[in-house]
Structure 1
Amino acid sequence: MEEVIARAGRVAYADETPADRDAYGVLWMRQVHAPEQGVPLYGKIHSARQRHAVLNLLCQICGQEPDENHDGVLWLLPTLPGQPAEDDGNGIITTYPPVCRPCARLSLRQCPPMRRGHALLRVRDVQVHGVTGAAFTPTASRAVFHEAVEHAYGDPALANVVAIQLLLRLTDYQAADDTEPC
């Protein structure tokens, strides 16, 4: 991760550009972008790719349109074995973008967390909720990593967070029909 400094009451990069912050003013982690190179690193999501897929509701794996029918958009989420997706009473909070059917099949075969337990959902309502990231404690001249956090947009604590992934809130959802071929 680039060196994070404290400036004007929030975290920053010494050579920060407008592209380093999102529309909410949150600083984002910088990463090298090399599309179609390398192999999948399950559990190690590329921040910019995840953010693009979430904001545009694209398949989390191939980046194309997700599967959608009259019941909603297809979502594949990891869960504890035999458990449903965790709903806090106001929906499911997730970093996972939607998925297309071919990539859902691929993920169920190749992704270790999905093989352990997963929920296949049809979602009709999605809102951008906040970010996961690294919280820093500002000092006089720099910022010191404090802890990994999740915060909703609008939380003042985001001034000292370097975002790593967007969080979505999934509402108005149902389990996908078991007869769907995945």
Structure 2
Amino acid sequence: MIDSSRRRDCGDKATTDSTKARLQALTPGDGVTAASAFFIAPYAGEYAEEAEVVFGADGRVGYRDERPEDRSVEGVLLSRWSGTQTGPQRWGEHHARRQFHVMEAPLGCAGCAGPPHRDERGILWILHTSGMRLTGHLMGPVLVTTPPLCLRDASKAMRGCDVLQGGAVALRVTEAEVVGVRGMVYSPTETPEPGIVRFDDPRIRRVVADGLVREISHAEVDTTTLPILTDCSTPVGSRAGEARSAAH
């Protein structure tokens, strides 16, 4: 099970029937509008700063004018962001600070930062397929920087994110441990390179992180929720009835 420390249990426990009931409350009009806000997506007016990175005497990277908020609870240096929340949002990207906020404890929804949806199968994650097995249980662990979702924001994501529209899979996750970060790995002698670095890797001291990484190790594919979320033409209540019949 996702525990109460780093693997974070979250959300109201619900049955599959209540999942379908909540889906019935969504309508085809509950999608992306000009007023829709998606918590982790940066706005056009926001940007990652090009802050000067320096090496300390202990070999750890930092900013020359480092502030306390520049580090995560694990002590990892975070990329700095500036700007204003104006203009359209870039749905396929993550604002580093807000991504950390919802991927840390307790887990939050990527869209609203509230509790992600959970039923007896686990917490709802929607990921790009990327060659994943689309039925049954997950084959092997998967490293993710994408946070989980509540049902309403899962619907928004499916309609607003070009990446997910290119192929998506819904998972019900029961174990997803925080294992590391994604970011730029610095060297005193070489050009920085992007990568995923685990907390037990010595390079963690040389990373400027733009995302927290969880390792999904126990999950099953949710084949009933995704078709309802992606159906914009048929009333969701009737689609939920179809999913209920298909699930039995």
**TM-score w.r.t. structure 2 length?**
0.64
Larger Rg: 2
Q: Which residue matches 2:95? A: 46
Alignment of 1:83-162 (within 5 A): 83-84=132-133, 89=140, 91-138=141-188, 145-162=191-208
Q: Which consecutive residues of structure 1, in runs of 5 or more, have no partner in the other structure?
A: none
* Offset of residue 18 of structure 1: 2.5
C-alpha deviations, 1:70-97, integer Å up to 9, x for none? 11111001123x7437x673x2110011
Aligned CA-pair RMSD:
2.1
**In structure 2, do the counterparts of structure 1 residues 88 and 148 end up closer, same or farther at CA, with 3 Å as the change threshold?**
farther
Quote the Cα distance in structure 1 between the aligned partners of 2:88 and 2:150.
20
Give distance in 2, aligned partners of 1:179 and 1:15: 47
Residues 126 and 169, structure 1, Cα contact 8 Å, conserved in 2: yes
Output the amino acid matched with 1:40: Q
Q: Which has the higher helix share?
A: 2
Count residues with an aligned counterpart: 174
CA distance in 2, matches of 1:67, 1:177: 15
Give the TM-score taking structure 1 as reference length. Answer: 0.86
**Residue matched to 2:3:** none
1:22 matched to 2:68? The reply is no
Q: 2:216 aligns with which of 161, 164, 170?
A: 170
- Counterpart amino acid of 1:4? V
- Identity among equivalent positions (%) equals 33
Label 1:138 to 1:116 Cα distance change in 2 as closer, same or farther (>3 A): same
The offset of 1:48, in angstroms, is 0.6
Distance (whole Å) between structure 2 residues aligned to residue 179 and residue 18 of structure 1 = 41
Task: List structure 1 segments (4+ residues) > 6 angstroms apart after TM superposition.
Answer: none
